[in-house]
Amino acid sequence: MRLTVRRGSASDGSGGKTALCLCGGGITGALFEVGVLAGLDDVLGRVNANEFDIYVGSSAGASVASLLAQGVTAGRVFEALRDPRDPFFPLGREQVYHARWTPWLKSAARLAVEALRALATLRVREPLAARLARLQSYLPQGLFSTDRYEEFLRAFFARENLSNRFGDLSRELYIVANEVDSSLRVVFGDGDLCGVEIATAVAASSAIPLFFEPVRIAGRDYFDGSIGRVDPIDVAIAHGADRVVVVNPVVPVRIAGPQGQRVRERGPIAILDQARRITTKACIHLGITRNLARHAHAEILLIEPSETDTDPFGHNPMSLCARSEILDYARSSTRHALWKSFDEETIVEQLANFTNAANRDPTVQVRRAKGN
């Protein structure tokens, strides 16, 4: 685990609002974020993750942010995700992998008609590129739909007496997505998009291209919030934050020693995933540098896994198979990194500046962990 504090030239560790920014990374990324935040709570002995003024979520981080912003503790989410039998937040494959069969059946029928047409006009020369382009338009927009996950979140909010409206929250919550046709990044919970339901916004931000269909809201299509500007730090700063904690689950795999299995030996999916990891980390670090240059008063704490400890994540970011391993790794590694970086007398003081003590709930206590 790596914890890095970056400060602008005029940062004094006090003043404006505090913010928690949770980046994308698929299901494994969300598990990592929950484990990290539970580990922070363990070391500080309080629900540190619920003490921010602003919560910003992108892609997988949107789901976690929508819970923390409403007072659900990281420890409770950790327990529920680690135990599939826990009824509190029973996330399983059936809530994520929902295929709508109607688009697939329509696509199959259209492809069959096109095949018959091609046979009937076999002697007519048509460029292969033109034919492939036409066939592509017949395919579904994604393998799965986020409809069922959106329904799952909506039911969870209702069951736990949480709100599904941005305007009802006592803390600020912003969820980042991208509009497909305009290519513009949008922020749900802000301006004209404040009226969108939280569950719908989370679904839109989580709609990974090709894997999920874009989410249509008021006639416009939206997808993955982690495309383009990977980090949502600027959203937090634009709303008054000058102390920002960023949790990034996605870093490249670095093979430790000659005995490690090379990435190419793990297949093409692993190679593609490595490319995604390299790009994501570079974008986030460049984004931090850019934001500190523009906002000299800002202070940013970046938390991300060590590049030599990424094996628990596997190579399928949408897998739930290693949920226990990832959650435990993130929580224990965070504990270890914090106790290694600070002695017991100064750790609370070092981290206290990144949250707002005024948001602390004295009725909620966490048993403080010692060491690992």
| Share of residues in the chain with pLDDT > 90 (%) | 54
- Region 341-355: what's the mean pLDDT? 62
Residue where the block lists tokens 């569950």: 199
How far is residue 174 from each of residues 2, 15, 329, 334, 349, measured CA to CA in Å? 26, 21, 28, 25, 28
Look at 370 and 59; give whichever has higher pLDDT: 59
pLDDT tops 60 at residue 365: no
For the chain, the distance separating the N- and C-terminal CA atoms, rounded to the nearest angstrom, is 13
pLDDT band at 180 (very low <50, low <70, confident <90, very high): very high
pLDDT band at 372 (very low <50, low <70, confident <90, very high): low
- Region 159-183: what's the mean pLDDT? 96
61, 30 in Cβ contact below 8 A?
yes
- 180 — phi, psi (to 5°)? -65, -50
Look at 127 and 204; give whichever has higher pLDDT: 204
- Identify which of 234, 232, 316, 198 has the alpha carbon closest to the alpha carbon of residue 58: 232
Look at 313 and 94; give whichever has higher pLDDT: 94
Q: What is the mean pLDDT of the chain?
A: 85
- Region 269-296: what's the mean pLDDT? 91
The pLDDT assigned to 65 comes to 98
pLDDT tops 70 at residue 110: no
Look at 311 and 344; give whichever has higher pLDDT: 311
pLDDT tens string 1-58:
888 888 888 877 666 899 999 999 999 999 999 999 999 999 887 888 999 999 999 9
- The Cα 17–Cα 15 span in angstroms is 7
160, 225 in Cβ contact below 8 A?
no
- Identify which of 341, 292, 370, 343 has the alpha carbon closest to the alpha carbon of residue 4: 341
- The Cα 82–Cα 86 span in angstroms is 8
pLDDT tens string 117-138:
666 665 456 665 666 666 666 6
- Region 254-267: what's the mean pLDDT? 74
Helix (H, G, I), strand (E, B) or coil at 247: strand
Look at 288 and 228; give whichever has higher pLDDT: 288
pLDDT band at 199 (very low <50, low <70, confident <90, very high): very high
Choice among 134-138, 208-212, 363-367 with the minimum mean pLDDT: 363-367
pLDDT tops 80 at residue 148: yes
The pLDDT assigned to 258 comes to 61
pLDDT tens string 235-249:
999 999 999 999 999
